[in-house]
Amino acid sequence: MSSTVYQAFSATAQQWPDNPFLHIVPETAGIYGVPAGELHYRHALDAIDALKLAYEKAGYGHGHRVGLLLENRPSFFLHWFALNALGVSVVPINADLRAAELQYLIGHSEIVLAVALPTHHEALRAAAETAGRTVGIIADGDVPPPPAFGAPHAGREPGIDTECGLLYTSGTTGRPKGCILPNEYYLHCGNWYSNVGGLAALRPGKERMLTPLPLVHMNAMACSTMAMVVTGGCLIPLDRFHPRSWWDTVRESGATVVHYLGVMPAILMKAEPGPDDTRHQVRFGFGAGIDRSLHATFEERFGFPLLEAWAMTETGSGAVVIANHEPRFIGSSCFGKEADEVQVRIVDDAGQPVGPNQDGELLVRHAGENPRFGFFAGYLKDPAATDEAWKDGWFHTGDIVRRNEHGYLHFVDRKKNVIRRSGENIAAVEVESVLLQHPAIKAAAVAAVPDALRGDEVLACLVCEPAPAEADLHGLARDIVAWSLSQLAYYKVPGYVAFVDALPLTPTNKIQRGELKNLAPTLPGTPRCFDTRDLKKRQETPT
């Protein structure tokens, strides 16, 4: 039984040496400037062992942390596994981070080395200097310099509890927290996925899993990567999601599984239907957040199920839930029913359990003697936040869900995203998903703004494509609201419509809710924000 990620990879390389581990499609290869094609397990292990020896000779060892700013390139995996063999934790660094963000990450994580794209070296050096840290900065292929200090746990063999990765939360509100993820976390992600079965069953040695998600995110780094490592499958990492070439890439790569975020199906559904829509080998999609009104039509059009799942960076697969069995209650934001190894509570603001079809916060833990099995080990340098998250022995997710009368769970929204207008609770994600169906809207984000009469009012920030002329904005805003009134209860419809050039997004293209919350109240009264509250009238019920 493997106790480290490196050992798991080595075992697979021995069992399936000639299976492809990575497949780099030509489009991604061209963007990254790396060779297209496949890297087989035996050759990957040779490269990993060579890197391991170089790091060991330089003095890296158990307890060090090394930053990886390599995007979704093959080199990310090779350095990660080589460092893991020595007990070195890796800190994935998003290439979009800027000075203050890099300074915070470097100072907080205390990395001793960054393996990064040359174009980012200057920014990393400046951030390290400002943070007062001595950090070696190299490119893939460079000889690593000696670390600034010795390995904190020198002489101790890496094991199941050794820190494997330090992933920073998206920081949608406040500063990002560093989630300490041990080897157990990553191994359990792979083992869970390989055994979950049902509509998500993986065939050992046969699957080809395509992901456009970044390796700074647990979905790609832990779920997708480890699922393929554990089962001897092939991972197809893209540089990002390219809507126009998506289906060509899916077909040409031979993908049998795809990972998605909710915005992706909405974009793909905007393309004209064609005879090639079902010409692919995909068996299922794994993701979260598909628009409820698009779920059934997407599956019918493209010919495979989109399996909605729930997890967080903090929970890993220790408390994952997935709709991988029928009934899936398609079109209701259902993400399935928890398995026997997961325990769930849904509570109100007072911490009391709610009944069927009532909204409440989702609390989770692993069943058995260790309720934290498979979860993160804690927030780095923030034990108080860790304790607060685990208050009363349950992990408090901050997600609002409801359980239907059959016991199945349905996602509503993040607790902090709920808008309260005249006593009505409005889920921002629901309004956003409807707005995205409007043909003029490319991206949408919804937030609360103060209203003297109603407490909160709904404000929508919209990115339109093609960009409308300034003279047309007022009319377009009113057209969008009029259309929305046919899709949503009147109180959920935006009372303000603001046209923006771009939304504040996290590295995984989630809305930066903290920034949006600060931005929204500043928009009413500005030239590109329109007051549409006069259109929001309760619809008369026909008699």
Percent of the chain surpassing pLDDT 70: 97
Closest CA to 111 of 82, 149, 79: 149
Max Cα distance, the chain (Å): 82
**Residue 28 predicted with pLDDT over 60:** yes
- C-alpha 223/C-alpha 327 separation (Å) is 24
What is the pLDDT, as a whole number, of residue 170?
Answer: 59
Name the pLDDT band for 454 (thresholds 50, 70, 90): confident
The amino acid occupying position 334 is: C
Model pLDDT for residues 106-125, shown as the tens digit of each residue: 999 999 999 999 999 999 99
What is the pLDDT, as a whole number, of residue 172?
Answer: 45
Cβ atoms of 230 and 190 closer than 8 Å: yes
* Half-sphere exposure (Cβ direction) of 408: Cα atoms closer than 13 Å: 18
- C-alpha 243/C-alpha 517 separation (Å) is 29
Task: State pTM to two decimals.
Answer: 0.84
What is the pLDDT, as a whole number, of residue 390?
Answer: 98
Model pLDDT for residues 43-77, shown as the tens digit of each residue: 999 999 999 999 999 999 999 999 999 999 999 99
Q: What kind of architecture, by CATH, is found in domain 5-403?
A: 3-Layer(aba) Sandwich (3.40)
- C-alpha 492/C-alpha 356 separation (Å) is 23
Q: Where does residue 378 fall: left (phi above 0), alpha (psi -120 to 50 degrees), or beta otherwise?
A: left
Cis peptide bond prior to 305, omega within 30° of 0: no
Domain ranges for the chain, please list them.
5-403, 422-535
Average pLDDT, the chain: 94
Rounded mean pLDDT of 456-466?
95
**Residue 168 predicted with pLDDT over 80:** yes
What is the pLDDT, as a whole number, of residue 478?
Answer: 97
**Class assignment of domain 422-535?**
alpha beta
- C-alpha 426/C-alpha 473 separation (Å) is 26
Name the pLDDT band for 508 (thresholds 50, 70, 90): low
Model pLDDT for residues 336-395, shown as the tens digit of each residue: 999 999 999 999 999 999 999 999 999 999 999 999 999 999 999 999 999 999 999 999
Closest CA to 181 of 62, 344, 314, 320: 314
Helix/strand/coil for 415: helix
- C-alpha 18/C-alpha 42 separation (Å) is 6
Question: In a 10 Å sphere around its CB, with 0-12 CB exposed, 13-18 middle and 19+ buried, how is residue 384 labelled?
Answer: exposed
**Residue 542 predicted with pLDDT over 80:** no
What is the pLDDT, as a whole number, of residue 541?
Answer: 38
